[in-house]
Structure 1
């Protein structure tokens, strides 16, 4: 099993462990709640049975059988007393019995006639006192001379039970925090691993990319030195052009890496001035023509913007134009066919660089501006680059408060559009 599969297995095992531990924690918490609820219900049941016995004794009834307390809801307990009640006895016995059994939760008391056809008395007992007028209650109870039952309801039962489980709650929160921290570490480890792989790939790419222009410059220099005095002027110019072009290419590649590093540190300082986009783009196209012609391709400029002036950093603007043309050339496997256009839009200028190359799959278009990202085309080095060009383009455009977008279809080419506001 290779390291990649081992890492995936570890991550899957970690995720399963986290889910399992969370499930166990939920089960333990639910079990603890059920136990405390049962304890509460048993305590209430015992208290109400004792209360019923005290009431019957207070009324001088020693022969009636104490009937079971019936739970009519999860928080309601009905006492089938079938006896004429004295309010004073009920009030006194309720408080004493609940205190004796450790029940201090707020409750509602409802007194019914035997057939439960009407409520004789209903009130709320909270913090040691009833919320209804005691005198009125005494009067209504005194008037009632029929057998009665009563029901006790605890409106905050669930809250009280949960409130009594602070140890479980604190331990559960601590456990969840530890699991969340563990999950974060697993995710961070995966990100670090991916970043390490990206950096390794980047170093491989940069080594390969820098070797190519250095080798070409070295070969051309050797030819010029060895053939000094014997080469005709045309060949000498040809080799000199090779050195010039490869030197520019090498400078551009090094500049990409340096600029990406500066952006990462937030140390890029733009020197803005009024720039004629048409003139700048025309100069970039002229410098690029030889490279395209060497591949028997076409590079056309349709610079139709009537208001071509923007307030920008000329150096960085030149670099992003060159970077986009470089991509258009690299991702055109046959003869490059590139068109550059400039047109005016409301309050700004739109620059479009379109090619007829391999295009970009729709599902990866959202990633192409990410640092080090390179769309897979099979062989790592079949298309040269570091995965920094489009990142640099996006950051420069955004630093100028502009917008960059792409439209592309596989095998139908790509079109990158840049928008800047006019001066």
Structure 2
């Protein structure tokens, strides 16, 4: 799948999902408003019936047509004007019966206005199972009426949940589908990236193996000719080419084998105490005699205080070699590398500052991934497999150290190893 087509698919999927969620939430909001309206209507009818039953019990039904029984103060607060005196027990029994008749099986609080005291009488909470206990709700006082009671529904969520449960279920199902869709899409993207990285790795590997093999074959054909004996200088030249290309071929094969070995087994470190300064100087000196090291100018800034590190000598040496080799490989001028070692309060800092091409900020975390190489378009002037820094990261992690990459103010990059003291 081409990158542009994948982008369009992701964009279309995002817009579609956003649209579906918008419609879903619109339906939920509409259903909530309808349920709220239904609750108000049911509660109003039930409370109007309560007012009528009280008037019937007190023999004052002639007042019913002259009053407005129910006034909605808020979504959960109702005031009921009766227009005549009544007692609490009568009110309570009618409230329980009428609310259940209209399918309102929820807790409610009520209080009766006392005209003599000009305040709400004892407040009472009645639960769904008809249990009664004192209420602390502060009912508002209405100056227009003298004989009325107020009802408050403290929690209407169960009412709405029962009516919106199907929408909650569908919304949860939609979220689940979106989650699996997003996960599938992320897997596809990762697989595509991995496929691209592996393809580049195979291409680089093929080139890195074919080049020395071709050079060795060509040199061998020349040496196989008897006339070469007449020109010893030429013979030695082709022998040197064979030796160099054989070393290059062996190094490439070793890199791949090391990768396979690390992937199969966890790295087992043979930790020992190392004199940091002496080990660094020795490793740098060895690197200077390599093909890459001969091209670079390497200087050191090491602390005078003796420092002892606990490290695996073999892997630590390879780690240093990989970082130095990268500094030389990715430099378009004479490589200048400064290796510094400083002792901080709780850790050591080993820095490698180079004057190479640098690493853009967005790639600094990715360079430690296996097979990853910074994209350069169709330019392939620097060959490699993307294994060196992956190996470095694995060794750093195995030692429980840290590594970071920063921009060198003078141009290039600075690799810093943070080693706990």
Structures share fold, TM-score greater than 0.5: yes
Query: Is 2:225 the counterpart of 1:229?
Result: no
Measure, in 1, the Cα distance between the counterparts of 2:171 and 2:108: 29
User: Counterparts of 1:70-89 in structure 2 under 5 Å?
Assistant: 70-89=71-90
Picking from 284, 287, 303, the partner of 1:285 is: 287
Distance 1:275 1:148, change over 3 A: same
Q: Is the 8 A contact 1:220 1:242 kept in 2?
A: yes
Is contact 2:223–2:235 with CA below 8 Å preserved after alignment?
yes
Q: In structure 2, the residue corresponding to 1:169 is in which secondary structure?
A: helix
Contact 2:48 2:70 (C-alpha < 8 Å) held by counterparts? yes
C-alpha deviation, 1:131, in angstroms: 0.9
Q: 1:3 to 1:377 in 2, by over 3 A?
A: closer
Cα distance, 1:84 vs structure 2: 1.3
5+ residue gaps, structure 2, are: 136-144
1:284–1:322: 8 Å Cα contact kept in structure 2? no
Q: Determine the C-alpha separation between the residues in 1 that align with 2:256 and 2:23.
A: 50
Change (3 A) 1:366 1:109: same
Kept in 1, the 8 Å contact 2:69–2:82? The answer is no
Distance 1:84 1:342, change over 3 A: closer
**TM-score, length of structure 2 as denominator length:** 0.84
Give the C-alpha shift of residue 68 in structure 1.
4.6
Name the counterpart of 1:363: 362
* 2:274–2:309 contact (8 Å) kept in structure 1: yes
The Cα shift of 1:48 comes to: 0.7
Match of 1:139 in 2: none
For 1:391, the equivalent position in structure 2 comes to 390
Post-superposition offset of 1:396: 0.7
Indicate how the Cα distance of structure 1 residues 253 and 5 shifts in structure 2: closer, same or farther if over 3 A, else same.
Answer: same
Q: Distance in 1 between matches of 2:339 and 2:266?
A: 31
Change (3 A) 1:318 1:219: farther
Partner SS state of residue 71, structure 2: strand
Distance across 1 between alignment mates of 2:216 and 2:341: 35
Per-residue CA distance 1:337-394 (angstroms, 9 max, x = gap): 3344556666876543332121222333232222222223443412211222111111
Q: CA deviation at 1:61?
A: 1.1
Whether contact under 8 Å (1:51, 1:94) holds in the other structure is yes
Whether the 8 Å CA contact 2:293–2:325 is kept in 1: the answer is: no
Give 1:76 shift: 0.9
Cα RMSD after superposing both structures = 3.1
Deviation at 1:330, TM superposition (A): 1.4
Contact 1:305 1:349 in 2 (8 A): no
**Deviation readout 1:81-135 (Å, 9 max, x if unpaired):** 22212323212221222222222210010222569952123211123032149xx
Distance in 2 between residues matched to 1:353 and 1:416, nearest whole Å: 5
Change (3 A) 1:271 1:255: farther
In structure 2, C-alpha distance between the alignment counterparts of 1:93 and 1:347, rounded to whole Å: 77
Change (3 A) 1:238 1:335: farther
Q: In structure 2, the residue corresponding to 1:84 is in which secondary structure?
A: coil
Unaligned 5+ runs, structure 1: 134-145
Specify the SS of the correspondent of 2:124: strand
The residue correspondences of 1:209-248 to structure 2 (distance < 5 A) are: 209-226=208-225, 228-232=228-232, 238-248=237-247
Please report how far the alpha carbon of residue 16 of structure 1 lies from its aligned counterpart in structure 2 after TM superposition: 1.4
Change (3 A) 1:86 1:304: closer
Asked if structure 2 preserves the Cα contact closer than 8 Å seen for 1:360 and 1:413, the reply is yes
Distance 1:345 1:179, change over 3 A: closer
What are the superposed Cα offsets for residues 168-195 of structure 1, whole Å, 9 maximum, x if unpaired?
A: 3233222221221112212222222222
Please list the CA deviations of residues 275-302 of structure 1 after superposition, one character each: whole Å capped at 9, or x if unmatched.
56236404532432x4454x5x534566
Counterparts of 1:7-406 in structure 2, within 5 Å, are 7-64=6-63, 65=65, 66-113=67-114, 117-126=118-127, 127-132=129-134, 147-226=146-225, 228-232=228-232, 238-273=237-272, 277-278=279-280, 280-288=282-290, 290-293=291-294, 297-300=296-299, 307=306, 310-342=309-341, 350-406=349-405
Q: Which residue of 2 aligns with 1:137?
A: none
Cα distance, 1:5 vs structure 2: 1.8
Q: Distance in 1 between matches of 2:350 and 2:297?
A: 18
Mean Cα deviation higher: 336-345 or 98-107: 336-345
Q: Distance in 2 between matches of 1:368 and 1:185?
A: 25
Count of aligned residue pairs for this structure pair: 405
Distance 1:106 1:10, change over 3 A: same
Q: 1:282 to 1:326 in 2, by over 3 A?
A: closer
* TM-score w.r.t. length of structure 1: 0.84
**Deviation, structure 1 residue 67:** 1.3
Q: In structure 1, what is the equivalent of residue 139 of structure 2?
A: none
